[in-house]
Copies of this chain bind each other. A is one copy, B any other.
Amino acid sequence: MTESETHDGPHGYISNKDAYLKRLRRIEGQARGLQGMVTDDKYCIDILTQISAMTSALESVALGLLDDHLNHCVLHAAMAGGAEAEAKLQEASAAIARLVRS
């Protein structure tokens, strides 16, 4: 997997790729379902309920990936120490802030 190795090494940190892909395919299906609901003039409150469910599913994927990231990239950087550790933690903090505020 040369391409992903070029930048900063392979990111094989994701604990269970198939499970994430399955969840993301389901989320893609929810986005398609929403289009059908809008096309069919479904009741607005029902559409909003679907959007809330989809947002929760997305948040849950994000929290899982962040957990994997902390347990791999950040943990390794922390053990190595120095500027790299500091940079990885700063980067993780910024990502967490985006999640909390989005």
Contacts and interface: CB of A to CB of B under 8 A. Distances in A.
A58 B51 CA distance: 7
A49 B98 contact: yes
Of the candidates A8, A10, A63, A86, the one having the most CB atoms from chain B within 10 angstroms of its own CB is A63
Copies in the complex: 4
A100 B98 contact: no
A63 B93 contact: yes
Contact of A28 (B8, B13, B35, B98): B35
Contacts of A85: 75
Given A21-B39, A45-B91, A63-B100, 9 more contacts: A4-B41, A55-B55, A59-B101, A70-B92, A74-B78, A78-B79, A96-B96, A96-B99, A101-B101
